[in-house]
Amino acid sequence: MAKIFCVANQKGGVGKTTTTVNLAAGLAKVGQRVLMIDLDPQGNATMGSGVDKRQLELTVYDVLLESASVAEARVRSEKCGYDVLGANRELAGAEVELVEVERRERRLKLALAEVDAQYDFVLIDCPPSLSMLTLNGLCCAHGVIVPMQCEYFALEGLTDLVNTIKQVHANLNKDLQIIGLLRVMFDPRITLQTQVSEQLKEHFGDKVFNTVIPRNVRLAEAPSYGLPGVVFDPSSKGAQAFIAFAEEMVERIRKM
């Protein structure tokens, strides 16, 4: 049975998509079977996995509206070594269309049950909001990975997410927990970042992943080549960090 993780943080630009595609590629590199699901209508994780969102006939939108199965809508990214359930602008409409339907927050969970046995990991890239789309992700996940930058307001922004996760845990998904906080875009030369990083560890203890993702230009360049940094330049510092993170995740799920 696959372990399912959402990469979530209601802030935009904090590294969710970068984390999702690079962790997926890192896990694939260490021999894990991975499905990456793009739940953001921007489709960045889709494009960043070498899949052209404009060419997709079926996407996660069709799965949420039950007009396609995951097996029908997923595509293989050969370059990246994992499967992709993609998204494009069409997904923005799902928010409204789902309002009318039953079990609207459980659509993805039900759909995933059919392919669960084919993967070790399912990673879900969430949009920068606590919307019905994110809720669908949280309802099917075992855990949430929260990428965060070590900045002054980092902790403050976490409160809403933590509250949402508590509510989903209480009402919809007993399995859900925060697996960990991932420090991303880290620059040790910036004193404030080192301080916030220490605060995070004091506050959250072993909920903070050991791996730290450095700010690295190769990670930022990779999406324009339609690749995760781990595939684009595997020897770069950023890629190496994500491969280490993949190994840390494999270790963590052994204990789950």
Neighbours of 12 (CB within 10 A): 12
The 66-105 site mask, x for binding Mg ion (CB under 5 A), equals: ----------------------------------------
Binder of residue 109, out of ligand ADP, Mg ion, none (CB less than 5 to 8 A by kind): none
Count, residues near ligand ADP per rule CB under 6 A = 18
Min dist CB 52 to ligand ADP, Å, is 18
Min dist CB 7 to Mg ion, Å, is 9
- Integer CA distances (angstroms), 80 to 51, 77, 215, in order: 10, 5, 22
Min dist CB 242 to ligand ADP, Å, is 9
State which residue, 71 or 192, has the beta carbon closest to ligand ADP.
192
Residue 177 burial class via C-beta count within 10 angstroms: exposed 0-12, middle 13-18, buried 19 and up: middle
Min dist CB 16 to Mg ion, Å, is 5
Helix H or strand E encompassing 170: helix 154-171
The verdict on 13 binding ligand ADP (CB under 6 A) reads: yes
The verdict on 216 binding ligand ADP (CB under 6 A) reads: yes
Tokens of 248: 């840390």
Helix H or strand E encompassing 6: strand 3-7
Residue ranges in 170-209 that form contacts with ligand ADP under rule CB under 6 A? 184-185
Is the C-alpha dihedral spanning 13, 74, 81, 4 positive or negative? Answer: positive
Q: Which residues bind Mg ion (CB under 5 A)?
A: 16-17, 44
